[in-house]
Amino acid sequence: MTITKKLLTSAVASALLVGGAQAEISDNTVKIGYLADMSGTYRDLAGPNGLTALEMAVADFGGKVNGAKIEIVSADDRNSPDSSSSTVRRWVENEDVDLVAGLVASSVTIAVSNILEESNKLGIVSGSAASSITNEHCTPNHIHYVYDTYPLANGTASAVVKEGGKTWFILTADYAFGHALEGDVTRVVEENGGEVIQTVRHPFPTSDFSSFILQAQSSGADVVALANAGADTTNAITTAGEFGLTQSGQTLAALLLFLTDVHALGAQSAQGIQLTTGWYWDMNDETREWSDRFMEETGVRPTMVHAGIYSSTIQYLNAVKATGSDDSQTVRKQMMDTPINDMFAKNGIIREDGRMVHDMYLAEVKTPEESKNEWDLYDIVRTIPGDEAYRPLSESKCKLVTQN
Amino acid sequence: MATTTTQTDIQQSIVRQQKSEQRKKQILNLVLLALLLLAPAVLYPVFLMKILCFALFAVALNLLLGYTGLLSFGHAAFLAAGSYTTGYLLSSFPGLTTEMGIIVGTATSLLLGLGFGLVAIRRQGIYFAMITLALAQLVYFFFVQAPFTGGEDGMHGVPRGHLFGLIDLSDNNAMYYFVLAVFLGGYLLVQRIVGSPFGQVLKAIKQNEPRAVSLGYNVDRYKLLAFVLSAGLAGLAGSVKTVVFQLASLNDAHWHMSGEVILMTLLGGTGTLLGPVVGAGFVVTLEYQLSQGPLGDWVDPILGAIFVLTVMAFRSGIVGEIQNFMRKNMS
């Protein structure tokens, strides 16, 4: 009884939502809400500088789209799904926010995407890593723009095996995210003819990695892969640096590492690490030109997340301009139909599951001798084509894909 | 003859004073109730519900900290146990009505509280606090690992469902009045407990435990019951919070949460009934306001500074200080 009632109400609700779609900009204002970690662990990789990137995009667009004003509101997500969901609910219900940008911690992103689906607004995820965001948690109301864990495992692992790293030691953070990465890496390594000789799991979070690094060294593996994130990764790298792991001939592969992390570690302890990134500031004239402007505003070089926020906002505003509407589905369709060609991505395509597929890059951290200044940190070793890097739609568990 | 008249006079005047104080309290309570009933017309309901959930959580902790003198540093475990149980039940069994999910969530926390309590009350002071912290960390790691919680991503899309199978809770206003009713229920329960002979014994234990023992009270039993009640109420707060936000996350189980609720209680005033409610309202509002503005970076330092200031200068907390002030200036 209750189930039929629920089905009925949801059917009525969706009918209403579709009926409400109109080709005009509501309130004659395009309102963008920026939600990111402004004070916690993920502050550096997105944070207040991400807001600057967003403001740069709006300013470059001229502050207006089809005569409608572009407004920005922002809030700290406190890395808490509770706080974020009450903020976003208020944004979409009371303040008529059309787009939520930023979105870092995956728990926050999933909570927010559920609200966006309910209220039929749009979200562009630039900071989150979890590939589940466009897989089992996909909605027709969000786009995952910059990167996810799938290419991190896929890109780094297959590239490193091809470079000759045949035997692998995996150090895994002992929770769902770490297990997923470990599984992906193992699969990719074995498919490419490598071998995982040992996996060790460490509690989440861990501050003292010395025993794990010693185990890694004595395993004699060619490659030591870190299937963890954030402070765990940087702690492990610092310890590996102190034990001279890379100097003794082993390759250190980090799966999730940002430019700001490497900058904090310094070239001395991070040298020789292989990692996958969606973008690097020093790739060509276009990226350098934008990064110089960004650095003038903020005093630091942008991460791939900052660049992604800028690029996705411009794409969004272009789509609003082209369709003359801020209705989420109209805009999303327009964005899917337009390949992305800018300083962030070449021929980037947004798929129906919301994944923006673009080329990824395998980078190696420079040695202190090679590094010309504090931000000159990566050598781009290899370009991983987008189709190879991201999860193919045939493997997708997304409801939007399987329905077709 | 003369002395008895003055004695009865004094007694009468004391009774009169007590009555007038009671009346004042009743009026205050009615005003507060009216404000709570009208609040969603002015403020955003989801925000108010968040305050009410944390207020209930702080009231639960206050039963232990303010009235029994036990500092639990692991109350997040009960919040999370209630929260995850309710979330799991409501998402896995669509036929289940909302209140059943909440009741089972609360019961889970009660049982967990019994387990914690049996171990923790054997020690006093800092050892008690550390044992509760250690046990709560075990629970945290359980929730990190258990497959049904979704680990770091959390549990999402919990349906709000229908209360008693009738009232649709997806409407924010309906949800608000339900949360308000649950909160008032919890608050009145604590008020009743504190005013009862059982509550008097708890206060006696807080003031002087050896004396309570020497008076013949089985102190451990009283402490255990207080602990279990407090855990159950914390679980209730967690369960309701899950229904409000439609999610359960690791933040609920993290020790930060245990710290935050202690902060709320101390800030509002331990050992006062309204204190934790005011403290919760204050902390949630402050976090919310600061996170929207340019001072976003400074939420934690500001909270920290306020905490230090409270502990150094206003030990009785907001409500405690107001009460002291009134007492001093009324007489």
Domain range annotation of chain B: 44-254
The CA-based dihedral angle spanning residues A166, A278, A232, A272, taken in that order and rounded to the nearest 10 degrees: 50
Mean pLDDT of all residues in chain A?
89
What distance in Å separates the CA atoms of residue A92 and residue A73, rounded to the nearest whole number? 12
- Whether the pLDDT of residue A404 is over 70: the answer is no
Higher pLDDT, A322 or A10: A322
DSSP string, A158-216: HHHHHTT--EEEEEEESSHHHHHHHHHHHHHHHHTT-EEEEEEEE-SS-S--HHHHHHH
pLDDT at residue B61, rounded to an integer: 96
Q: Where does the pLDDT of residue A226 fall: very low under 50, low under 70, confident under 90, or very high at 90 and above?
A: very high
Q: What is the pLDDT of residue B163?
A: 86
Q: How far is B211 from chain A (nearest CA, A)?
A: 44
DSSP B155: B
Count the Cβ atoms, other than its own, within 10 Å of residue B113: 28
pTM recorded for the entire structure: 0.87
Chain A residue whose CA is closest to B159: A6
Measured on CA atoms in the order B129, B130, B131, B132, is the torsion positive or negative?
positive
pLDDT digits (tens, 9 = 90+) for B191-221: 999 999 999 999 999 999 999 999 999 999 9
Q: What is the pLDDT of residue B289?
A: 85
The residue-averaged pLDDT of A171-191 equals 87
Q: In CATH, what class is A27-147+285-354?
A: alpha beta
Give the residue with greater pLDDT, A192 vs A1. A192
Segments of chain B scoring below 70 in pLDDT: 1-5, 296, 331
Taking the domain A150-277+359-386, which CATH number applies? 3.40.50.2300
Q: What is the pLDDT of residue B26?
A: 85
C-beta of residue B273 within 8 angstroms of C-beta of residue B187:
yes
Strand, coil or helix: A364: strand
Nearest CB partner across the interface for A130, out of B44, B153, B298: B153
Pairwise CB contact (< 8 Å): A137 & B156? yes
User: In the beta sheet, which residues pair with residue A187?
Assistant: none
Contact B246/A114, CB-based, under 8 Å? Answer: yes
**Confidence check: pLDDT of A117 > 70:** yes
Across the interface, do A80 and B165 touch by the CB < 8 Å criterion? no
* CA-based nearest distance B291→chain A, Å: 5
Contact B297, B253 (CB under 8 A): no
DSSP-assigned letter for residue A248: T
CA-CA-CA-CA torsion for B133, B136, B138, B139, nearest 10 degrees?
Answer: 180
Tell me the CA distances in angstroms from A151 to A310, B80, B150, one per residue in order: 22, 33, 22
Q: Is the pLDDT of residue A77 over 60?
A: yes
User: pLDDT tens for residues A337-346?
Assistant: 999 999 999 9
For tokens 């005013």, what's the residue?
B195
A137 in B contact zone (CB under 8 Å): yes
Q: How far apart are the first and last CA of chain B?
A: 29
pLDDT at A8 exceeding the cut of 70: no
- DSSP for residue A145: -
What does the pLDDT read at residue A20? 42
Domain spans of chain A, in order of start? 27-147+285-354, 150-277+359-386
* pLDDT score for A14: 46
Whole-number pLDDT of residue B296: 67
Phi/psi-derived region of residue A99, left when phi > 0, alpha when psi is between -120 and 50, beta in every other case: beta
| Tally of CA atoms within 13 A in the half-sphere of A95 that contains its CB | 17
When pLDDT is averaged across residues A77-106 and rounded to a whole number, the result is 91
